């Protein structure tokens, strides 16, 4: 398989999956019903949610300076913010291309070498991955009783025990295999894990590590608050606190799986809510309202950033 064809597949497959999931989601709730939910939504709560989302983007742009300053660069906050917004917008078209576009913007307008800017973005992503894993771990701890009851209700406890034992044994053997690997897939995994650990450790070696960690935590708290604040916007939607975290995680992974979560976000969030006994149709409607609000914000502010960057930096 040629490299060009692989790149094409990386673009086409997420889009095709997104379109298929849009069709699947709309098979659960009619367009007329969905429009009715949009019409009756409380937009004050949606606006509050978007406010939290905007704070997360500003914090992300500000956090970036803690990575760039040790390299000798002090970019303008406006350029850093617009680069972040452009990156989010580009990710809606080509998965993972946003990171490259973000580094390219800073190369054009702040004279930061592309490879250095891109390297700091990769380090940021490591911090974000750690935060996501921490949220998953906290959710599993807080909802352990519910998850265990759900599993034992639907599956034989003996089979669950055998499966857990098999997973533990498999993990041990897989870890030993990765440690001894010197080529192929095993080496790629080993390199990735090593890079991940080095990236995390580099954060603690930063001169301003605590401001960086504060903003990292703040960004993810804002993400959760954005999700939480939008729930009351949907009429008849009563979501327990445990479902909020599980729904947030499901939505987060869906955004990574398809272009900006198109199609998959409403399905993933609704699937999480239904596990907690929340009615399916309002859950689907919430997923679409939440995704639409996020997407609209990125399209508007990302588009404005595209237009304003050359105007703001007219001397360039």
Q: Name the H helices within the chain.
A: 3-28, 31-40, 43-68, 77-91, 97-110, 114-142, 144-154, 157-180, 184-204, 209-230, 241-257, 264-275, 280-312
Listed range (9-13, 48-52, 116-120) with the worst mean pLDDT: 9-13
Residues 6+ apart with CB under 8 A from 182: none
Q: What is the pLDDT of residue 202?
A: 62
Confidence of residue 195 (pLDDT cuts 50, 70, 90): low
Residues 6+ apart with CB under 8 A from 6: none
| pLDDT higher than 70, residue 21 | no
Listed range (6-15, 84-93, 287-296) with the worst mean pLDDT: 6-15
Q: What is the pLDDT of residue 232?
A: 94
Q: What is the pLDDT of residue 192?
A: 64
Asked whether residue 18 is assigned to any structural domain, the reply reads no
Asked whether residue 122 is assigned to any structural domain, the reply reads yes
| pLDDT higher than 80, residue 34 | yes
**62 in Cβ contact with 77 (< 8 Å):** yes
Asked whether residue 12 is assigned to any structural domain, the reply reads no
Asked whether residue 17 is assigned to any structural domain, the reply reads no
Q: What is the pLDDT of residue 141?
A: 87
Number of C-alpha atoms within 13 angstroms, CB side, residue 142? 13
Name which of 201, 72, 60 is nearest 126 in CA terms: 201
Q: What is the pLDDT of residue 198?
A: 63
| pLDDT higher than 80, residue 180 | no
Write down how long the chain is: 316
Asked whether residue 167 is assigned to any structural domain, the reply reads yes
Confidence of residue 31 (pLDDT cuts 50, 70, 90): confident
Domain that residue 127 falls in: 27-312
Asked whether residue 7 is assigned to any structural domain, the reply reads no
| pLDDT higher than 90, residue 294 | yes
What are the CA-CA distances from residue 314 to residues 58, 108, 114, 130 (Å)? 23, 12, 21, 38
Tens of pLDDT along 106-129?
A: 999 998 888 888 888 888 888 898
Q: Could you give the number of structural domains in the chain? A: 1
Tens of pLDDT along 56-105?
A: 999 999 999 888 888 888 999 999 999 999 999 988 877 677 888 998 99
Tens of pLDDT along 206-241?
A: 778 889 999 999 999 999 999 999 999 998 888 888
Q: How many CB atoms lie within 10 A of CB 195?
A: 13
Q: What is the pLDDT of residue 62?
A: 95
Asked whether residue 254 is assigned to any structural domain, the reply reads yes
Name the residue with higher pLDDT: 184 or 247. Answer: 247
Name the residue with higher pLDDT: 256 or 248. Answer: 248
| pLDDT higher than 90, residue 154 | no
Measured in whole angstroms, the distance separating CA 185 from the mean position of its chain's CA atoms is: 26
Asked whether residue 135 is assigned to any structural domain, the reply reads yes
pTM of the predicted model as reported, rounded to 2 decimal places: 0.82
CA–CA gap between residue 313 and residue 80 (Å, rounded): 12
| pLDDT higher than 60, residue 199 | no
Residue % of the chain over a pLDDT of 70 = 79
């Amino acid at each position: 398989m040629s490299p060009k064809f692989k790149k094409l597949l990386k673009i086409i497959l997420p889009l095709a999956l997104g379109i298929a999931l849009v069709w699947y989601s709309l098979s659960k709730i009619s367009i007329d019903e969905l429009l009715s939910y949009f019409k009756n939504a409380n937009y004050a709560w949606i606006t509050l949610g978007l406010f939290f989302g905007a704070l997360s983007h500003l914090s992300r742009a500000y956090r970036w300076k803690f990575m760039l300053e040790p390299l000798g660069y002090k970019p303008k906050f406006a350029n850093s913010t617009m680069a972040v917004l452009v990156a989010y917008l580009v990710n809606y078209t080509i998965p993972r291309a946003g990171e490259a576009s973000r580094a390219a913007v800073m190369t054009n307008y702040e004279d930061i070498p592309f490879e250095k800017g891109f390297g700091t973005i990769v380090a940021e992503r490591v911090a974000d991955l750690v935060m996501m894993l921490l949220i998953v771990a906290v959710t599993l701890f807080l909802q352990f009783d519910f998850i265990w009851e759900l599993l034992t209700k639907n599956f034989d406890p003996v089979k669950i025990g055998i499966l857990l034992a098999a997973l533990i044994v498999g993990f041990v053997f897989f870890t030993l295999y990765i440690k001894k690997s010197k080529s192929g897939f095993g080496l790629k995994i080993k390199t990735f894990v090593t890079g991940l650990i080095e990236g995390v450790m580099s954060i603690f070696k930063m001169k301003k590590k605590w401001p960086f960690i504060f903003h990292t935590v703040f960004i993810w708290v804002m993400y959760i608050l954005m999700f939480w604040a939008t729930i009351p916007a949907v009429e008849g939607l009563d979501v327990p606190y445990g479902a909020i975290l599980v729904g947030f995680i499901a939505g987060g992974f869906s955004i990574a799986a398809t272009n900006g979560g198109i199609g998959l976000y409403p399905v993933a969030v609704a699937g999480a809510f239904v596990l907690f006994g929340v009615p399916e149709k309002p859950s689907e409607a919430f997923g679409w309202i939440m995704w639409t609000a996020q997407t609209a914000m990125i399209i508007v502010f990302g588009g404005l950033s595209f237009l304003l960057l050359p105007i703001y930096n007219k001397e360039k």
